[in-house]
Amino acid sequence: MGTVAPPRRGSPGGVGAGPAPRRVRAWDGPTRLFKWSLVLLVLTAWLTQQRGDAGMPWHVWNGYAILILLVFRLLWGCVGSSTARFSAWLVWPWTALRYGRDLLRGRRRPYLSHNPLGAWMILILLALAGLQGVTGLFTVDQNGLVGGPFANLDFGDPTPVQRLFSRWHRVVFYVLVGFAILHVLVNLWYQVVERDGLVASMVTGRKPALDYVDQPEMRPASATWLRAVLCLGAAAGIVLGAVKLGGGGLPF
């Protein structure tokens, strides 16, 4: 089967309005579902926390779901489609800095997957969400009555230790929100100013066909959804199993 050359921006499309620009696959369904599910869970984590003790059972379940999603993303980054794999977009910090320098000089190179700066932003967001989830396992409420699955473990003098985790749980959340806002603003800039289709691609899964630096089009994983379900099941087993083996109490 022959390969169709991707149209360039501003190229004439023939007589009249011309054909619509060709679009290529950029993100698979599991990756997009992960992203929007994580956004929703972070939002509901904040909402359930605002309800105080009444919202704590839901908040705990919310924390489990976030941790399971993050472990799923780690697994999917190894066995998912080509743009979802860490090997497609993990770069050294100096590579990201060179990309940022070129960006400031007006030499932007389009990437189908995450560009080098975007890749580090994703890593920071995942790390902060993971730290938020892990500290939540040890937290207690202001009265010391309701907390995460490790809230009742004996640390010798547990109150100071768990208060420390609780404090970090709150601080990390605000840091996470700050980076998330920055991430949204940058994505909107790429979508509106650069017309990169970055935000739209996380909904539709497709981007305009360009001369991308990393890969011309996403290569989907075989049996994508079956593989994703197996990764999700494995992630749930890892998170819940680790809590149980660590002596924590599961909410069921």
Average pLDDT over residues 61-87: 95
Q: Domain ranges in the chain?
A: 24-245
User: Which two structure tokens, joined as six digits, stand for 116?
Assistant: 């080098």
Phi, psi of 30 (to 5 degrees): -60, -35
For residue 194, give the 3-state DSSP assignment: coil
Chain CA centroid to CA 108, Å: 24
Residue whose C-alpha is closest to residue 74's, from 65, 82, 84: 84
Residues 116-140: tens digit of each pLDDT? 999 999 999 999 999 999 998 888 7
Q: Is 210 exposed, middle or buried (0-12, 13-18, 19+ CB in 10 A)?
A: buried
The CA distance from 46 to 53, in Å, is 13
Phi, psi of 218 (to 5 degrees): -65, 140
Superfamily of domain 24-245: Transmembrane di-heme cytochromes, Chain C (1.20.950.20)
The pTM for the full model equals 0.85
Residue whose C-alpha is closest to residue 66's, from 131, 1, 138: 131
Does residue 28 contact residue 17 with C-beta atoms inside 8 Å? Answer: no
Residues 200-226: tens digit of each pLDDT? 888 999 998 889 999 999 999 999 999
pLDDT above 90: percentage of residues in the chain: 53
Neighbour count for residue 152 (Cβ, 10 Å): 13
User: At which residue do the structure tokens 């992203």 appear?
Assistant: 35
